[in-house]
Chain A
Amino acid sequence: MQAAIYVENVSHKFGERIALDSITLQVMPGEMYGLLGPNGSGKTTLFRMLCTMLPPDHGRIRLIDKNASASAVRANIGVVFQHPSLDARLTVLENLRHQGHLYGLKGRPLSQRIEEVLDMMTLTDRAKDRVEVLSGGLQRRVELCKSLLHHPEVLIFDEPCTGLDPGARRRFWDDLDILRRTYGTTLVLTTHFIEEAERCDRIGILDRGRLIAEGSPEELKRTVGREVITLETRDPKGLQLQIEKIVRRDIQIIDGQVRIACDEGQQLLAQLYPLLQEKVQAMTLSVPTLEDVFVQRTGHGFQVEDL
């Protein structure tokens, strides 16, 4: 099967700062692909490239088909930005109509299509309201309607749930499910929420401009091991050395905590018990998350300080 999106060896610099470093990835048709990474990891730069706003310094990005011009690509993608792109002074209907015009839609077909998407997002009764009176969650749904008008083959989102309360966030994901069921649209989204990445078919994890892991969330978590032990202590360095002597392998310190990925967590804890009793304030034994994948591959915590 031919991929919907090819990103081939893409690199980009802003001045001296490397924003993206030889990224290669593919997104298959109908797939929901998440780009997960902390702030500054390069995911928004990649997003801007995917939606034709920024040409890469090096490498190639191919959407839809090999020889598509920028404007052909634009006609086939729907984009939802992190910052609202609605005109707050216009009504929902006026915003959608304007958006349709940008894609050459007009008259009866446009009105019908607007009705259709408003209905799908259960916004029909808000059509005449000005956008400025709608809640953040409703505005997001209007943004989604806006991106759907022209039946795009690929939808691209940048941090779609930033600033939404948990209820609105859940609702947004339900909407995406409806969309995928109805149209089988290919979705690409950037996020720094682990829980959102978990819901994707496949994810690429970005850190400081590099793609450090790619695969389905399950695959990725499996690479960490079956369990993760986290130990809170006043002397992480000392504890790390002592544990390494006992278990004979590398142990990481992340954000002041000692972290051990393993397959037999309970056995290991039993083995370490005497040591832990005297040095450890708190311990957790948990199933790995994507955050653990990130930590394992990068050696640092997910919430990267602003550089």
Chain B
Amino acid sequence: MRMAFWLPVVSLWRRELVRFARDRNRLFGAIGQPLVFWLLLGAGFEKSFAPQGIASGYLEYIYPGILLLILLFTAIFSTISVIEDRREGFMQSVLVAPVSRIGLVLGKVLGGGTLAFLESLIFLIFLVFLDIPISIASLGLTLIFLAVMGIALTALGFAIAWQASSTAGFHAVMNLLLFPMWVLSGAFFPAEGASRWLAYLMAINPLTYGMDGLRQSLYLTTSGANTHLWFCVIISVAFAALTLSAAVWQVYRKEK
């Protein structure tokens, strides 16, 4: 029974990786744009933005935000295919196979999540240009946040893609929901300096806690762990559980 559950999950997961490895464009696509963003925004706001406690300026401030953006972009790239796959492609044959719907979602989301995680790892190399002291604990916690947020965002993308009728619709959701969620996560500017209503929006945005947790993990060596960090962990894991459930629910719902 256990075996029967995991075999298709692993197979679906592996397919995501193989496809990705065979498509060079995707490898650079998800990392190129955030990289350009990082350099342009970082250099552009260098003098006009002076966040507290950050030595090397905006380039450093926005660095964890770019990590999150890479996760978001990879998640979107790997779930957008679901829209056509389901009606006129590969997913059709998965749907008529005796595969549990939870297994289907897990395979696809873990696959996309793994890709997002790996892409963010590549970007983590740029840490060497920043003046952030890194320890095993801070790196470990950072990786955990990247993995959890990678899965959460892929599951969110999946849930949206599964009910979208066209890729154009998905792009609309991306521009109106996913990208603003990123902007309002604290990736771009801290809530303290934002106007009141925006700060409220940022407080109810689940990505804010993933972002904050990621940032705190990176600076763990200098600032140490506090209760707020654990709060971020809990919210982020809950967010991942919620988006996964939403994805599973979408698949069941569309079968009725």
Contacts and interface: CB of A to CB of B under 8 A. Distances in A.
A87 interface: yes
A159 to B, nearest CB: 12
Interface string A76-117: 010101011111011000100111011110100000000000
A243 B12 CA distance: 66
B15 interface: yes
Interface residues of B, number: 28
A71 interface: yes
Given A89-B19, A89-B23, A101 B7 contact: yes
Contact of A98 (B15, B88, B256): B15
A74 B96 contact: yes
A36 interface: no
Contacts of A90: 15, 18-19
A94 B93 contact: no
A103 to B, nearest CB: 6
Given A87-B19, A90-B15, A102-B11, A75 B256 contact: no
B8 A101 contact: yes
Interface residues of A, number: 28
Nearest to B97: A102
Nearest to B84: A83
Contacts of A97: 11
A52 interface: yes
B88 A83 contact: yes
A106 B96 contact: no
Contacts of A86: 90
B255 interface: yes
B18 A79 contact: no
Nearest to A52: B96
Nearest to A130: B22
Contacts of B23: 89
A74 B208 CA distance: 43
Given A85-B90, A87-B19, A98-B15, A104 B7 contact: yes
A74 B98 contact: yes
Contact of A74 (B18, B22, B90, B97): B97
A90 B88 CA distance: 17
B99 interface: yes
A103 B96 contact: no
Contact of B96 (A72, A79, A84, A94): A79
6 contacts: A74-B98, A85-B92, A99-B93, A101-B7, A102-B8, A102-B98
Interface of A: 51-53, 55, 71-72, 74-75, 77, 79, 81, 83-87, 89-90, 94, 97-99, 101-104, 106, 146
Across the A-B interface, the 7 shortest Cβ-Cβ residue pairs: A101-B11, A83-B88, A102-B97, A85-B93, A74-B98, A75-B98, A71-B98
Given A77-B96, A102-B99, 4 more contacts: A53-B96, A97-B11, A98-B12, A104-B3
